[in-house]
Amino acid sequence: MNTHLLTNLVKAEANRLGFEGCGISKAGFLDDEAPKLEQWLANNMHGEMKWMENHFDKRLDPRKLVPGAKSVISVLLSYHQPELAEKHNENQSNLKISKYALGEDYHFVVKDKLYELFRFIEEQVGEINGRVFVDSAPVMDKVWAVKSGLGWMGKHTNVLNRTEGSWFFLGEIILDVEFEYDGPITDHCGTCTRCIDACPTDAIVQPYLVDGSKCISFFTIELKDEIPTEYHDKLGNWIFGCDICQDVCPWNRKAKPGSENRLFAREDFLDKGLEYWDELNLDEFRKLFKKNPVKRTKFEGLKRNIKAAKKNI
């Protein structure tokens, strides 16, 4: 099968599976990203996320993850629910969870679809060597999404798409099959600095550069120790993650609603008052957050976050 036909078939199948975008890049070493990543790590902008230091070479070259890899297929899957997002933002009297974590764990949802796409490619070309990735290995997913034309890198370092905004998950298939390759699109952030101006912890230290060790998402998810007291009043009412830089982005006002119901927010995450969070016990935590990203912070971490954030209500 020629590459033009195969490329069109794969993109059509990705669309049928519910992905809002699919782009394909030639696998190779990320020359431009190597010095940026090295400097970012040297400046300790990853904080306690020491896993970011591991597999430096694999992070920059997908052929070290999949020997013989020729292509990186990038997909995006929206989780945007405009009406629910508005309700979520308006409720300032309750503690808040980042909108991406209000539905089923995206790792499962995106991977399920990617494995279906992988099997479809096998049906077209025969046995292939490849792997599926969803935020689960040293893959620079945002960089590959930009290279494949799924969007441009916003000043908040989230990928932005003209129709989907930034309310989406990314996933990849790295494989030893050749396709017709896409290219990057232009940056449409212009002179806007709303994400930079809105960040309460000044984590966006300059356009396109985020100090992860100052991000509210880092404090409420990745940090294992106590949240520094000087940041308590900056947490607002966030107890898992943070959407501030995305909420203020003009492109997200234009974003289309997502269609994958497994990612849709559960109502029981939106109607929990402060008293509920105060009295949350381990059994209830396990029940509420089964197959949900919030379990990543663990029970003790969530209770720590609740204690710090409730002072701001």
Residue type, 194: R
Among 61, 135, 176, 187, the active-site one is: 135
Write the DSSP symbol of residue 82.
Answer: H
Alpha helices in 104-257 (DSSP H): 106-125, 141-147, 194-198, 216-217, 244-247, 250-253
Residue type, 20: E
Residue type, 286: R
CA angle 206, 246, 295 (to 5 degrees): 105
Dist. CA 163–CA 11, nearest whole Å:
17
Dist. CA 80–CA 82, nearest whole Å:
6
Is 135 catalytic? The answer is yes
Computed over its alpha carbons, how large is the radius of gyration of the chain?
Answer: 20
Cα–Cα nearest to 254, from 149, 166, 193, 185: 166
Query: Quick check: 61 and 25 in contact, CB under 8 A?
Result: no
CA angle 216, 295, 57 (to 5 degrees): 70
Write the DSSP symbol of residue 161.
Answer: B
Dist. CA 210–CA 205, nearest whole Å:
6
Residues marked active site are found at 135
